[in-house]
Amino acid sequence: MGSMRHTLVLALLVMSSPLIFSEDQTASKRLSVYPDCKRFECPWDYLRNNLNLVDIVRDPGDADIHLLVILEKTSNGEMYSLQFIGQTIFKDLSFKTSYFSPEDNTGDMTRKEILRKVRLGLVPFLLDRPESDYLSINIDTENQEQLDHIARGSEKTDPWNYWVFKTEIGMSVEDEDRRDKNEHWGSLNANRTTESYRLGMGYWREKKSQSFILEDGSTLKDDRIRQSITGYAIKSLGDHWGVGLGASQRKSTYRNLDNSFRIASAIEYNVYPYQLTAEKALTFGYFLGHTSFDYELTTILGLDKEKRPDHGLFAEYDVQQPWGFISVRLRTSQFLNDTEYYSLSLGGDLDYRITKGLSINLWGNYSLTNNQIYLAATEASNEDLLLKTKALDTNTRSNFGLSLKYSFGSIYNNVVNNRLRGSGFTRVYD
């Protein structure tokens, strides 16, 4: 058996050796581009297939152009900020552009428009190169009406007055011989975003039911409900300030909340202008609120309902750059009528390119949670521990992680081959 296994491995190596050593090692003379997508997955294969005049490389140190694409969510779609950062002989040539993808766009429509923007952005880098002999500009005359609007400087009227509505309903069912689970959920949201105001309201509800047949033949059941209603209004005050007022209702079996209602206000200051949020932001803020609680079970403080004012501070630092990104978040809160009850959380993410092919990613969160006034007075059962059906008494929460990524090999491998990519034929079990 062992000799057969060794023979098979040797045969695979012999079969693959022509592929390993017969690749064309000739260095590419074409313009090289490194796409660097933040907050979403780059469509690598699509770019390789459709950017014929340039090479897509795997490392920013090998690129003539570092293409930084940053995704920002909006109330009715997604905004993609594209930064063309020249390197090597183009180090003095850099600029920005953007593309807005409406909510109802498909993934294919979005990637085609991003590709169109990338092609346009590469033109200044290609003008003084031989490839410029094969470039041309075509005007889409089918959209002549829109072009006329642009030429006259007029704006289209919006029948919805910037309001965007989203709704979703769904369900999932899982069934095995000894356990089953079903979920139902639904949501409705409305948002209006302008330079001066951001308005929003929403409803969300989820019900999850599980049942298990234990070894002794008995059945364990778990039913959980979560529901929330929110509304807010946020006003812009210049390039650095924002204020807001909001209210929410919440129901949660997990947190022993039969019903809760909250109203709160907040103010925030951004050291950088908000227009630069896609690249960097350093914000500081303060909030003040009041919440009424109705509990499903009597709490550890012997209460079935109560009202509490609270306040807190928050701060966040975010940077998206060619070397990677960093995000650090701090939040504190405290009940004003019982100041010994408070919470503090600190979290962050770091993705940093150390050198060619090598990058490090760190993430972590740490919280002090001395404010769990909602905990039920009854002891949590073993089933609650295993199924996470109820919040547990804890003074701290934490999670940390670290990963190192290293890649090496050809920097000009632009070939796309998707054969058997999703088959999973090397796995015994899914």
Q: Is the pTM of this model over 0.85?
A: no
The domains of the chain are located at 28-128, 163-406
pLDDT tier at 365 (50, 70, 90 boundaries)? Answer: very high
Residue 246 in this model has a pLDDT that exceeds 90: yes
DSSP 8-state secondary structure symbol assigned to residue 336: S
| Max Cα-Cα span within the chain | 81
Residue 183 in this model has a pLDDT that exceeds 90: yes
Q: Is the dihedral of CA 42, 44, 50, 52 positive or negative?
A: positive
Q: Which residue did the predictor score with more confidence, 217 or 27? A: 217
Residue 26 in this model has a pLDDT that exceeds 90: no
pLDDT at 180 (0 to 100) = 92
Per-residue b or e along 217-233, where b marks 16 or more CB atoms closer than 10 Å to that residue's CB: eeeeebebebbbbbbbe
Q: What is the mean pLDDT of residues 370-381?
A: 83
- Side-chain-side CA neighbours of residue 180 (13 Å): 5
pLDDT tens by residue, 85-94: 999 889 889 8
Percent over 90 (pLDDT), the chain: 38
CATH 2.30.30 holds for 163-406: no
pLDDT at 341 (0 to 100) = 93
Residue 8 in this model has a pLDDT that exceeds 50: no
**Phi, psi at 255, each rounded to 5°:** -100, 20
Q: What is the mean pLDDT of residues 294-304?
A: 93
pLDDT at 9 (0 to 100) = 45
d(CA 178, CA 219): 9
pLDDT at 153 (0 to 100) = 56
Residue 3 in this model has a pLDDT that exceeds 70: no
374 neighbors 391 (Cβ within 8 angstroms): yes
pLDDT at 16 (0 to 100) = 45
Maximum mean pLDDT: which of 307-316, 348-357, 380-389: 307-316
Q: Which residue did the predictor score with more confidence, 165 or 424? A: 165
pLDDT tens by residue, 189-217: 998 888 899 999 999 999 999 898 888 88
pLDDT at 428 (0 to 100) = 78
- 3-state SS string for 374-390: CCECCCCCHHHHHHCCC
Residue matched to tokens 């609680």: 293
Residue matched to tokens 């949020």: 277
pLDDT at 199 (0 to 100) = 92
pLDDT at 54 (0 to 100) = 86
d(CA 122, CA 65): 9
State the amino acid at position 289 in one-letter form. Answer: G
Maximum mean pLDDT: which of 34-38, 135-139, 381-385: 34-38
Residue 62 in this model has a pLDDT that exceeds 80: yes
59 neighbors 356 (Cβ within 8 angstroms): yes
Mean pLDDT computed over every residue of the chain: 84
Residue 175 in this model has a pLDDT that exceeds 60: yes
- For domain 28-128, give the CATH number: 3.30.160
pLDDT tens by residue, 256-291: 999 999 999 999 999 999 888 888 899 999 999 999
Residue 57 in this model has a pLDDT that exceeds 60: yes
Q: Which residue did the predictor score with more confidence, 372 or 104? A: 372
